[in-house]
Amino acid sequence: MATSSKFQNLVEELKRRRVFRVATLYVVAMWPIIQIADILSPALDLPDNAMRSLLMVFIVGFPIAIVLAWLFNLTPKGLVKTGDNVNPEAEQRMISKHAEVLIVIGLLIVAISLFLFQSGSSISSQQEPSNLSAVLDSRQIESIAVLPFVPFSENKQDEYFADGLSEELLNVLAKIKTLRVAARTSSFAYKGVSRNIQKVGRELGVDVILEGSVRRNDVNNTIRVTAQLIDIASGSHLWSETYDRQFNDIFKIQDEITAAVVSELKITLLGEEQKQLLAHETATPEAMVAHSMGRSELAKRTGPAIIQASKYFEQAVSSDPWYATAYASLAESYILSIDYADMPKEEYKKKAQQAVNKALELDSNLGLAWAAQGLIYFSSEDKIKEANEALEKAIELNPSYAMAYMWYGSLQKDLDKRTKYHQKAFQLDPKSPVAGYNVASNMLELGQEKEAMEVFSKIVEADPFYPGAYMLVGEISRSSGRLDQAILQFKKSYELGEARKSAFQIANLYTDLGDKNNARTWIDIAAKDAPEYYKTQLKWLEIASLLIDDKRDEAYAMLTDLKKVGKPSLKGYLQSTIANYLLEDFPETIRLYEKAMELNKDSGKKHMAHDILDVHVYAAYAYQQLEMIEQSQKLIDLVNSEQDKIKESGKQISSYAWYRKSLVQMIEGEQKMSLITLQRAIDEGWSQVFRIREEPILKNLKIDPNYQAMVAGLEAKLNLMREQLAFEESFTTHWKG
């Protein structure tokens, strides 16, 4: 009884000192504050430990409030110490009883309202997809873009990590055959820029966008990832979630995000696709980051960038030897290094093949690896069939990989088919400079200069430092005979890193322009460290530069060296056939031509087509000079047939084709028509005066006054362009603004 009496006295004392009321008011007042802070923390970008600190303040503050309530009382006269022997009824109240009740009720209303708001938001967030289900069911979601996740840190490493996570999500989703995934190059073009999501979605041509943010806490090695899925048509959030995990659990987060996207888009996975989505290629964030950095460099398509990409991929596979995608990317960088960075062909083909073998050993259904395999086969003249098959398999396994379509298109001889696949690649990756370059090149071949320039604008907008864009404009200028403008564009390309290809083209253009000094300078630049397959082309440029410098004997001495075939090959026989034709050794011209045609039977290399057409013309003339009229006529009919096909296909008839037609007409004895067609070639941009003068087929035209006037007019035009170019370059160099 004594114990019960003491407890009852304690309770009465706690009531008298209003400890229970203070405790209630404390909890009711602090809980809404915590709720408000929790709701506003994402918008205010509060640190991850802000809520934890606020909760600790609440817990520590509770006993302090109880102690203060026991010791003191708030009255109208101020804060006074609670008396031990004062009658409760006689003591001044802190505030009126009604006011106290109203405050408690008000705080309870605020707390309950915040609870309902937060719960309602959560329910709304979860139920929004269900509310939109009618809309989603009425249209099939077929495409998605994964935008680079935003890092909430100034640390560059966190940025790379966020990029890596975004790319991993992109690669995983790309394994779903019924879902088109916008390419990395295009998605990452929006990195770090202010963006309207619906506008971005329309530009990328996708139905939904996945975006989010990443925040790392190095103190306790945790990570917070926020992801959201947005419907482009309505602008509505289909789904959003926040994940707070340990840093090493990043791939579990990736699994959950992927599963949520698949669920929200109502995608039915096949058994193999389900396995693919659950199979992680890498278990180390470091490898993921290195691979992402490598893909970023690879997309730039310059020699130095591709070399750097290889280093990142090597770092990725070193960090994680079971990372199949990194091996495939490494193979791609090795094989591209041959063309872009002049790496030794056989050595780098071998390295690329080893990397592909490892990738396919780890994952035989990796589309990226089969695409790289196709690219390796593409580099061999005798593996064209295998290249087609490998790239077809790559497209089947990963229908979203734009480069597989692009390379497959480049294998096609038919321009319409080639254009179809190049356009598909550009559609999948509209921000890819190299995909745009191929589309524009096809347009140029079709004579669609205006359309090609529109694509050029898109390429430069996506990447103003892509050298191929300026090479493209250079080709457009060259095709219309604006050699001075073409040189300026190729020099931009040269400065941006495409040194070897651009230097050769600049040397070629200066030769056509008749500028012997600059031609010689750029031939020397192009010859420096030139790969073996460029050396013969450089010899032809040297011969041309000697001819424009009136050093005919030296030029013909070099032609005599080219008469001999070195290592037997189609290209070697073609080059020697041309040299013998120019030296008017017609029996040897025929012998070498027939050797070349034997080798050409099984060749599928489309880039030989123009060379072979020219050689057909030279051989026709040689046969005629040897009075082998039937063989000559057969070749003339073949060339005319090919020229007619070009005309019927809708392709632009280039100045080169008009020049070739002029030669055929001379062989056929139609001198007047030949002269008219030659003028047409010059009007369309033909500018090689040195070649017109040395052409054996045209030697009977040289006494024609019209021919002489035509050549003189072309020389005057070239002279004017030389002066204009010198002025523009001087203006650019010396103008100080």
What's the confidence (pLDDT) of residue 35? 59
* Confidence bin at 692 (pLDDT 50/70/90): very high
Report whether 366 contacts 349 (CB < 8 A). Answer: no
The residues near 530 (Cβ < 8 Å, ≥ 6 apart) are 500, 538
Distance CA 636, CA 398 (A): 46
Asked if pLDDT for residue 118 goes beyond 80, the answer is no
- Quick: pLDDT tens for 194-252: 778 888 889 888 988 999 888 877 777 788 888 888 889 888 888 888 888 887 777 77
The residues near 98 (Cβ < 8 Å, ≥ 6 apart) are none
Query: What mean pLDDT do residues 15-43 have?
Result: 61
Q: What share of the chain in percent tops pLDDT 70?
A: 75
For residue 213, what is the DSSP state?
A: E
Lowest average pLDDT, out of 229-243, 600-614, 719-733, goes to 600-614
User: Hey, what are 296's tokens?
Assistant: 């970023």
User: Hey, what are 251's tokens?
Assistant: 């791939």
Determine what percent of the chain falls in helix, strand and coil, rounding each to the nearest 5.
Answer: 70, 5, 20
What's the confidence (pLDDT) of residue 6? 61
What's the confidence (pLDDT) of residue 45? 47
- Residue 73 pairs with which residues in a beta bridge? 80
CA distances from 712 to 3, 376, 654, 687, 703 (A): 127, 49, 22, 12, 13
pTM of structure:
0.68
- Quick: pLDDT tens for 351-386: 999 999 999 999 999 999 999 999 999 988 788 999
User: Hey, what are 440's tokens?
Assistant: 């524009």
User: Hey, what are 475's tokens?
Assistant: 């080709």
What's the confidence (pLDDT) of residue 381? 75
Higher pLDDT, 67 or 362: 362
Report whether 216 contacts 247 (CB < 8 A). Answer: yes
Asked if pLDDT for residue 258 goes beyond 70, the answer is yes
Distance CA 519, CA 548 (A): 10
What's the confidence (pLDDT) of residue 488? 94
What's the confidence (pLDDT) of residue 537? 85
* Confidence bin at 696 (pLDDT 50/70/90): very high
Higher pLDDT, 619 or 267: 619
Residue 180: its H or E element: strand 180-181
Asked if pLDDT for residue 405 goes beyond 90, the answer is yes
Asked if pLDDT for residue 91 goes beyond 50, the answer is no
Distance CA 130, CA 161 (A): 33
Query: What mean pLDDT do residues 635-656 have?
Result: 83
- Quick: pLDDT tens for 567-599: 778 888 888 999 999 999 999 999 999 998 988
Asked if pLDDT for residue 133 goes beyond 60, the answer is no
Residue range 282-296+307-398 in CATH 3.30.310.50? no
Asked if pLDDT for residue 78 goes beyond 80, the answer is no
Residue with tokens 């490494």, as numbered in its chain: 330
Residue 214: its H or E element: strand 208-217
Report whether 417 contacts 442 (CB < 8 A). Answer: no
Residue with tokens 């026709």, as numbered in its chain: 620
What's the confidence (pLDDT) of residue 126? 40
Domain assignments of the chain as residue spans, ordered by start: 2-120, 139-280, 282-296+307-398, 652-737
* Confidence bin at 22 (pLDDT 50/70/90): low
Mean pLDDT for the chain overall:
81
Asked if pLDDT for residue 274 goes beyond 90, the answer is no
- Quick: pLDDT tens for 303-322: 889 999 999 999 999 999 99
What's the confidence (pLDDT) of residue 19? 63
Instruction: Please give the CATH superfamily to which domain 139-280 belongs.
Output: TolB, N-terminal domain (3.40.50.10070)
Strands 237-246 and 72-75: unpaired
What's the confidence (pLDDT) of residue 670? 94
What's the confidence (pLDDT) of residue 735? 41
Distance CA 303, CA 309 (A): 10
Asked if pLDDT for residue 549 goes beyond 60, the answer is yes
